[in-house]
Structure 1
Amino acid sequence: MTTQFSALNTMKPFLQEAWEKAGFLAPTPIQEKAVPVILEGADVIAESPTGTGKTLAYLLPLLEKVDPAKKAVQAVVLASSRELVMQISDEIRQWGGGITSAAFIGGANVKRQLEKLKKQPQVVAGTPGRIHELIQMKKLKMHEVKLLVLDEGDQLLVPEHIKGLEAIIKSTMKDRQLVLFSATMPEKTAVLAKEWMKNPQVIKVEKKELPASQVDHFYFVCDRREKNIFVERIMRGFDPERMLAFVKDIGEVNVFSEKLAYKGFTNGILHSELGKQERANALKQFREGKLTLLFATDVAARGLDIKGLSHVLQFDMPKDATQYTHRAGRTGRSGQAGTVITLITEREERDLKKIAKELGIQLVKKEFFKGKPVDAVERPVSNKRRADK
C-alpha cells in the first residue's frame, strides 16, 4: 500500500482499497490531524477551510469503528440540508464496503423511511428534525450508537435546531463519542458544543497549512436593477462550464430564471420551498453538466461538493466574511482553480473590500469592454458627465 497516511494502514482492508482506488496518496491536513484522534475515541471540534476533505476526515474513522456483524445503528451523521445529507450518504456508500447505511430527510415519505429502518442500517445520515422524529416514534434506536457527527456544525447549533439536537444527543449512551466539523467555527458554536462533550480535542487547520489558493476573486459594480443584465454578460463573457449563483431573495429569481432559459441559458433553482424531488433533480442536472447555471440560497448550497465547479457568482453582497467563505468555497476545492464573481452596488464596495481584507484575499475590480471582462479602469469624470449629474 503506497500511501503516506499512517493511520490508514491500521484500518480495515476495504478502506485501504477504497483509498487506493480513489487515487489519493497523502491525506489532507484535516485528515492527518483528525483521523487518529477520532480513532482514539476522543470528542472533537474541528475547523478546516472549505474543500479540504472534512467528510473523509470523520468518515474513515467512523467506518472503521462500525462492527459489520452487529445489525444495529452504530453511527449517526447530522447535517442541516437535504442536499448535504444526500451527498454524505453517497460518500458512505462509496467508502462503506459492506456496511449498510440509510439517509433520512425532512419532506420525504415517512412510511418509506420506516421500511429503510427495517433493513437495519449500521450508519445513518439525516437532518435533525427527521432523526428526532424517528427517535420519538421509537423507530430509530440509538442505544448502540458509538459515534455522532455534526457536519457543518455551526449551521446545526442554531436556535431552531438546539432542542432537537439535545434530544438526539441525550438518546445516545453516556460513553458515545461526539464530533463536530465546520469550515467556520464561531465562538458561540464551540461553547455550545463543549457542553455536550467530554474534554474535546480542538483541531484547527489554518490557511497557511494548505497549498496556495488557485481562486480568482473578481467583482463588478452595477445598479441593483442592472444585475440581471450582468448575469447574462457574465455567462457570455466568462463562458463558465458551470456556475453556482447565490441569491438572497429566491422570489425575484423565478421570473428571471425563465427569461434566461428563453435566451438559451439552461438554469435551475435550489431552495427550501421547492419539493424534495425538484431540488434533487436540479442538483443532479447541475452535477451532470446539463445545467450551466444554478441559483441557490445559502442554506441549500451549504457544504455541497460539486466536482469541477469552475465559477461562483454572488448575485447579492455577502453579509459577512463567513458567508463569503462558504460561498466561495464551492469552487477551487482541493487546490483546484476557480473564479468567484460578486455583483455589488457602489455603496457596497467599501464593505466588500473590508471582507476581502479580513479574509486575506485579493479582489480585482472588473468591467465589460466589447462583451469581454477586463480590469476596471478608474476614469476621470468628464465635464459632460459632471453636467449630467
Structure 2
Amino acid sequence: MSVVQLLNEQLQAKWSFEAPMKVQEELIPLMLEGKDVVAQSPTGSGKTLAYTLPILNKVDGSKKQTQALIVAPSQELAMQIVNVIRDWTEGTNITVQQLIGGANSARQIEKLKKKPTIVVGTPGRLNELARAGKLKLKEVETIVLDECDQLLSREYRVVVKSFIDASAFGRQIVVVSATVTEEIELVAERLMFEPARIVIRPEDMPAGGKVVHSFVKVDERDKTDLLRRLSYQDGLQALAFVNNIDQVIMKENKLKFRDAKVVTLHSEMKKEERQKTLQAFRKGEAKILIATDIAARGLDIDGLTHVIHVDVPRTVEQYLHRSGRTGRAGADGEVIAFLSYHDEKDYKKLTRDLPKKPVQKIWHDGALIEGNSKTVSAPTPKKAPAKGKTFAKKR
C-alpha cells in the first residue's frame, strides 16, 4: 500500500505525482503515528512534502488555534514552505501564516489574532513575537525544524528550545536536514522523546542529472572579475556562494558598477528586496545570484545550471549543501570552485570522496574550458568592456 493512502481523501485527491519519494515513504507513516523523528535526506529529495502532508492530515482548520509550527533558518525557505502549504490547503479551512524578519510585524500581529492553523517562520521573528505574547505556542502539537543543522547550532539552539518548551505537553518534534552531525543528533535527543531515525542516501534517490565538479585557479583579487565574465555566458544560470555578507555587498557594488548580470541575496535585505531579487533571477534578467549559505538555505530554483563556490566552503557538509542546488529533476549541472593558492589544500579534502576527480578549467578566449596554463595557451589579457556593453565571446 502506498503511504498516500494513509492520508485523508482531500490530500489523496490532490496527489499528482507518480510515486512518493523515499523520504516521504519513511517519514509520513512515522509522523502519522505521532513519533518524534530525526530525518536526514539529500537536498531536493522531497522533504517539505514529507512533513507537510502529515501535518495537514492531522490539523483541524475549524479550531481557532495554532496547532503546528514550522521553523526555517531563512526567509526564502519559510516563504517556499508557505507556498507549498497554500497550494495543498486551497479550498479548505486550514490557514497558514508566515512570520519572517524583513516584513511588517504589526501586520503579522493582526493576522495572528485570527489564530492561523499553521505558523511558518524564522527564529528571530518567532522569538520576538513569542516573547511579546503575540504568538501563543501552548496549543502547538507539532513542531518541525527544517534545516535542523542550522536551527540546532549554537546560534539558534536556545531560542528553538524555548519554542519547544512553550508548546503543548506531549508535542511531536520532527527535525530534517540534508546533513545531521553527531552534535545535532545529541542535541535533538535531549529535546525529543525516543526519536525514530531516517537516513536517505543519494543512491536512494531517483536518477538525477549528471553533475560535473570543476575548479579554476584564480587569484583572490580576480574572483570578482571572473564572476563578471561568467555573467555574460549564454545558457548559464548560477548560484554563487561567498562566506560572509561583507563579501556579498562588496561584490555587488563592484559588479553593478560594471553592469554585470548579477543580483545578490543576504540577510540584511528587506523582504521586498529579496522577492525582487529572486524574481529577476528566475526570469533570467540576471545570470548569477550571489548569496551566503544562510540566505540561500532551501532555495528551490528550477533550471539552475551551475553552483559556484566563490569562497571555498569550510566543511564537507557545506560543500554538499551548496552543490546539491544543481543537477536536480534529471537535469545536468556543474559545480565550479574558484581556488586561490591558499584554497587548494582545503578543496582537495572537501572533494576527495567524490565519485570522480574534479576537472580543472581555465578561462580562455571568452569561455571556461577544460585544461590549465600548461595545456592551453594563455589568452591575451583583455580590457574590460565599456559600461553598458556585454562581454561577448570571440568567434
Cα separation, 1, equivalents of 2:358 and 2:207: 16
Cα separation, 2, equivalents of 1:380 and 1:281: 43
Cα distance change, pair 252–354 in 1 and its aligned pair in 2 (3 A): closer
Q: Is 2:240–2:289's contact at 8 Å kept on the other side of the alignment?
A: yes
Cα distance change, pair 211–381 in 1 and its aligned pair in 2 (3 A): closer
Query: Could you say which residue in structure 2 is the equivalent of 1:385?
Result: none
Cα separation, 2, equivalents of 1:176 and 1:165: 14
Q: 2:221 aligns with which of 214, 225, 248?
A: 225
Query: Could you say which residue in structure 2 is the equivalent of 1:122?
Result: 117
After superposition, give the CA deviation of every residue in 1:32-63 in whole Å (9 maximum; x if it has no partner): 11111111111000001111111111011111
Q: Which amino acid aligns with 2:183?
A: K
Cα separation, 2, equivalents of 1:252 and 1:125: 29
After superposition, give the CA deviation of every residue in 1:14-36 in whole Å (9 maximum; x if it has no partner): 3223322xxx1111111111111
After superposition, give the CA deviation of every residue in 1:291-319 in whole Å (9 maximum; x if it has no partner): 22211011110121112212111111111
Q: Which amino acid aligns with 2:155?
A: E
Query: Could you say which residue in structure 2 is the equivalent of 1:387?
Result: none
Q: Is 2:232–2:287's contact at 8 Å kept on the other side of the alignment?
A: no
Q: 1:44 aligns with which of 24, 37, 46?
A: 37
Q: Is 1:84–1:302's contact at 8 Å kept on the other side of the alignment?
A: yes
Cα separation, 2, equivalents of 1:31 and 1:80: 22
Instruction: Within 5 Å, give how 1:144-183 maps onto structure 2.
Output: 144-183=139-178
SS at match of 1:218: strand
Name the % identity: 44
- Is 2:89 the partner of 1:96? yes
Alignment length (residue pairs): 374
Instruction: Within 5 Å, give how 1:24-39 maps onto structure 2.
Output: 24-39=17-32
Instruction: Within 5 Å, give how 1:72-111 maps onto structure 2.
Output: 72-97=65-90, 98=92, 99-111=94-106
Query: Could you say which residue in structure 2 is the equivalent of 1:11?
Result: 7
RMSD over aligned Cα, in angstroms? 2.2
Tell me how far 1:176 sits from its aligned partner: 1.0
Tell me how far 1:204 sits from its aligned partner: 0.2
Instruction: Within 5 Å, give how 1:245-256 maps onto structure 2.
Output: 245-254=240-249, 256=251
SS at match of 2:156: helix
Q: Which amino acid aligns with 1:26?
A: A
After superposition, give the CA deviation of every residue in 1:139-185 in whole Å (9 maximum; x if it has no partner): 22223222100000010012222221111101112211000000011
Tell me how far 1:377 sits from its aligned partner: 4.4
Query: Could you say which residue in structure 1 is the equivalent of 2:285?
Result: 290
Question: Can you give the 5+ residue segments of structure 2 that lack an aligned partner in the other structure?
Answer: 378-395
Cα separation, 1, equivalents of 2:237 and 2:376: 37
Structure having the higher helix fraction is 1
Q: Is 2:102–2:269's contact at 8 Å kept on the other side of the alignment?
A: no
After superposition, give the CA deviation of every residue in 1:267-299 in whole Å (9 maximum; x if it has no partner): 211111223322232123223333222110111
Q: Which amino acid aligns with 1:28?
A: M
SS at match of 1:159: coil
Cα separation, 2, equivalents of 1:267 and 1:232: 8
Give TM-score, length-normalised by structure 2.
0.88
Q: 2:315 aligns with which of 320, 328, 336?
A: 320
Q: Which amino acid aligns with 2:69?
A: V
Cα separation, 2, equivalents of 1:343 and 1:138: 47
Q: Is 1:85–1:127's contact at 8 Å kept on the other side of the alignment?
A: yes
Q: 2:353 aligns with which of 338, 348, 358?
A: 358
Give TM-score, length-normalised by structure 1.
0.90
Q: Mean alpha-carbon deviation: is it higher for 157-166 or for 371-380?
A: 371-380
Cα separation, 1, equivalents of 2:237 and 2:365: 23
